Structure 1
């Protein structure tokens, strides 16, 4: 490959924004194999896993099993992907005000849409709907057998906050609410009334869409 066509040289001369995903990935991986140069290796990985979004879902062990990757390259790649995820988040030090379901989804979606297991998030809000706390709960399965109203509202009670938003993901990527999602939501709305804490919404996070149960159920 001519020197001026190599990804690192192109980045230096033309800027990172002008590189393809394969070229950016090649810079992270640095070297290829005897059979594939680093661009070919990058292209193969992107094709196999459906692009950057797919790569963000796979584990360290899965990456290490790929020919030409190994532990060092897997660590470099997953670290780069994690930096990208963190950059997209609003940090806990920033004031983040929730004005709509989309606002809440933007805060948590990048963390949740690529998960391969179910997880619940609880956003605790102050009187101006600023996010005071963003809590991860129930990693593994989110259903009525494990979900407890006391756990959902505990942080709001401790902080004397008037409302919460909850969210959970569907690893399938389809955010269509199940009958159990709807029933759990109704139970939590009623439990919140007894505690004088409002459940503002229950979001179901898919990939790439999300669903607001407040908009569906109109409570």
Structure 2
């Protein structure tokens, strides 16, 4: 892709490049039961989804993220025989690289982009735990730019988050490709600032959408506007 108009490909992390293994609902349920909870995994899954969807503030930092996850565990699991230790075990679990795996197609996609010479970055609603996860995978160390919400003070879809992407790359918006699985947080706000986008979804109505396997083919065929 030597003639590609894209100079930077920016990936979302969770749900796009990496995913928890086992799933969040399975881990929450398993650890909660160790602390006396009898909660059902399907209830955990529903409550977790509702809690994520209900989050309102786009401003954040490390302390706010920690507090958010503490409240989330309490709301999702409910009371246990040791709420503090239950939360700490869950929080530490998702800091471990072994709790995550590459999404299907991530290995091939990132490897191809590294070979092409396009600059790569990650832009994620996460906290400092993400550094250890990325550092544990040689491939993901190739994503030289890391923008993590807790460190820059804003969460996607805040305009300020994407403005920080543009500031750190120093390249005009149209030369960026934002790749993510969340249409409202990854695709729409990036496009509003003039970035190109690729929606990682098999069911998206977007013209530029599909699997990570399809992303590299799409980049080869892209034309200058």
TM-score range, shorter chain: 0.3 to 0.5
Task: Compare CA radii of gyration and give the structure with the larger one.
Answer: 1
TM-score by length of 2: 0.38
**Which has the higher relative contact order, 1 or 2, with Cα contacts under 8 A spaced 6 or more apart?**
2
TM-score scaled by length of structure 1: 0.39
